Structure 1
């Protein structure tokens, strides 16, 4: 009997110790991360939704159309993906110039250096650099403010935003062929690349804000409005404020007619990929989207996801039909108007898009088998490009923590929940917009 009591006592003791151990392990585990809404910057109102169509680790929530989903297939990668914190952190700030490019330097080192080979090869945290003189001497611009913020180590001011004729060389083609999709020239043959970029050969093709000298009108700072398509803009009455900026950026299914009071009427820069353009024209025709905005001041900024983007640029610049691919024999003036010229066409540099992914939006999607199709959303590229080119940036219609209160788009006739897809990380983008707003690098429109 005494032996039985001792056995029972021993079992209870072991069980108690085991419970205490499990409890301690659980208490030491990582806490879940959530975005905390910020109070608005003075002069704005509080909370919103994003410019883009959604992402997540998997499709989640409402079954909504996503014009960003690519119809192509990216090459398979088997390399190890990098560790990713929930909120984007600054990766190593090493930057190396690429010889053989006009205006580039050979090497620049940032304030910190990687201590070991922490990056898998497909990340490619090395970029072309160019000497790009500022267009203004604005004392209160992004370029001045960023040095005193948490983003100081992430902003690389000498990575070219746009690619143009002087960037083409066999050496550059070999280097960028290592990166697929929007992040490089992987799968793009040299002849197509050379023929396309050879028509983007003027200073207007090199500069995002090519006509600043004509429109500055004595202003010391370049003011840009970047307009997403989020439902928060419905009944916002922000149209006049948006149109009052020097430049107005829009993207994808930007329906303007009938919504001018809320979203404005001007478009100076329209950002898209050929894939998102065609999908938007099919899916948003019923709400009035007929194609890119057409005006004398509008520039068309391609985000090159596939060779079809290069083919359409060449056709538009030369006023010829598209030579091959999904848009074969199509007339580009159908999309960009009869008076479109090469000077009105621009194309993001793949180094710039890869830099945005690596330094600002390093998502956990890069740890999955979908890492080759993950990229910053088109709206994110547009907004971050504006932050690299403009002095003062106001963002409207981008995602904020209470996005569930608004329909997917401002032109939806009934409520449609935001859908999430693996090719973008809209929640990480939402967090980034909050951080940039809090740092005073941009003003994010939010509801009060």
Structure 2
């Protein structure tokens, strides 16, 4: 009887220890600097930036070793043959086995030429309003954008017009285009803003997002669209999440912007990030909207945007990437 009690106490303590370790893993004990401290540091840094090729090469090597972005960022026929099990990175115990239907939708191999040269990664932060960064963004060799942002004439001066790759969360297909269950015309028409770019969707990240992503693919192919659908590889999303968690970003999920910056750092020789500013006040102490096109706030607790910004700012200070968080200076020759 005493042996049973002893074992019972041990098992209880073991369970408690596991729970505590899990809690510390998800919500570690640390202090993130407050918004004012971060803004003050950015102001002190000013426009000073110097490219550091050694750190760029080192960071690309770290990303290559952990996540292999060049080969794994998208699901392809090459890395996901028939019968392969794709485990959803956003949901435990759910998977998709590649079958005839899905295999036929994959590109043969990663379509991007390596290495890409100068890349612009454009977030949707309100800091882009009145930034005058549009020409700077469009001067890059490859432009990445987040979540089907508006590129109408009123925004071009600040955010540019060129797109080579744009992400699309399945939730956008659900909310903005009624899951493509009734009409596909508005979706196909709105996609024309992105020219002949790649649409990058996390079809195998969360189960509810699979069908809308597949419908989006069919809507584009059935209308002979110039766009090419790429599905995010859940293995890549998972490993990138672990990579940043080990560097102090603790959230249920990384933002789309940080996924794209990670991809760019793995693929591009030079990366400049725009529109990444998770604070409600700008460097001029004036209010900043959440997006450059609206002020709709995200669900709280899902992303850890200030933590992400701190990590990106460290990379900026080390010369690994450049962040534009204020106005872009006029380009030479501009009137």
Which TM-score tier does this pair reach, normalised by the shorter chain?
0.5 to 0.7
Within 5 A, what are the aligned runs for 1:54-133? Answer: none
Structure number with the higher strand fraction is 2
Q: Is residue 2:33 matched to residue 1:34?
A: yes
Q: Show the counterpart of 1:345.
A: 229
Q: Is residue 2:308 matched to residue 1:302?
A: no
Q: Is residue 2:172 matched to residue 1:276?
A: yes
Q: Show the counterpart of 1:87.
A: none
**For the aligned residues, what is the CA RMSD?**
3.7
Give 2:292's match in structure 1, choosing from 387, 404, 410: 410
Q: Show the counterpart of 1:324.
A: none
Paired residue secondary structure (2:271): strand
Q: What is the CA–CA distance in structure 2 between the aligned matches of 1:400 and 1:40, rounded to whole Å? A: 18
Give 2:316's match in structure 1, choosing from 429, 433, 437: 437
Are the structure 2 counterparts of residues 42 and 339 from structure 1 closer, same or farther at C-alpha, using a change threshold of 3 Å?
farther
Q: Is residue 2:261 matched to residue 1:262?
A: no
CA deviation profile, 1:395-429 (whole Å, cap 9, x unmatched):
111125675631111123xxx48555222111211
- The answer to whether the Cα contact below 8 Å between 1:281 and 1:291 also exists between their aligned partners in 2 is no
Higher gyration radius (CA): 1
Q: Show the counterpart of 2:102.
A: 196
Structure 1 unmatched ranges of 5 or more:
1-29, 45-139, 213-219, 283-288, 320-331, 367-373
Q: Show the counterpart of 1:424.
A: 303
Q: Show the counterpart of 1:370.
A: none
Paired residue secondary structure (2:144): strand
CA deviation profile, 1:328-387 (whole Å, cap 9, x unmatched):
xxxx24xx893336x811122111111111111356866xxxxxxx21112221221111
Question: Higher relative CO (CA 8 A, sep ≥ 6), structure 1 or 2?
Answer: 1
Structure number with the higher helix fraction is 2
Q: What is the CA–CA distance in structure 1 between the aligned matches of 2:309 and 2:202, rounded to whole Å? A: 21
- The answer to whether the Cα contact below 8 Å between 1:270 and 1:292 also exists between their aligned partners in 2 is no
CA deviation profile, 1:86-112 (whole Å, cap 9, x unmatched):
xxxxxxxxxxxxxxxxxxxxxxxxxxx
Q: Is residue 2:56 matched to residue 1:146?
A: yes
CA deviation profile, 1:418-448 (whole Å, cap 9, x unmatched):
5552221112111111112112121111227
Q: What is the CA–CA distance in structure 2 between the aligned matches of 1:364 and 1:225, rounded to whole Å? A: 22
CA deviation profile, 1:145-186 (whole Å, cap 9, x unmatched):
33556x86565263521111233358841xx54x5527x8x4
Are the structure 2 counterparts of residues 403 and 271 from structure 1 closer, same or farther at C-alpha, using a change threshold of 3 Å?
farther
1:226 deviates by 1.0
CA deviation profile, 1:260-315 (whole Å, cap 9, x unmatched):
11111111111122113433568xxxxxx984454443110112333454444544
Are the structure 2 counterparts of residues 293 and 422 from structure 1 closer, same or farther at C-alpha, using a change threshold of 3 Å?
farther
- The answer to whether the Cα contact below 8 Å between 1:302 and 1:309 also exists between their aligned partners in 2 is no
Q: What is the CA–CA distance in structure 2 between the aligned matches of 1:256 and 1:197, rounded to whole Å? A: 32
Structure 2 unmatched ranges of 5 or more:
1-28, 179-186, 328-335
Are the structure 2 counterparts of residues 351 and 41 from structure 1 closer, same or farther at C-alpha, using a change threshold of 3 Å?
farther
